[in-house]
Amino acid sequence: MARTSAEIAAEIDEFQPVDGEWLGLDELLEELFQTDSPESALGSLFRVFERYPTDDGAGVFWGILHGVESIPGYEPHLVRSIQSNPSEFSVIMVHRLLNSGIEQVAGIDGQSLLEEVVQNQSVPEAVRTTAQRLYDKHNKST
Backbone angles phi, psi at 121, to 5 degrees: -70, -15
* Sequence-separated (6 or more) residues with CB below 8 Å from residue 79: 105, 106, 108, 113
pLDDT tens string 73-113: 999 999 999 999 999 999 999 999 999 999 999 999 999 99
The answer to whether 25 touches 17, Cβ cutoff 8 Å, is yes
pLDDT tens per residue across span 2-24 = 899 999 999 999 999 999 999 99
Per DSSP, the three-state class of 33 is: coil
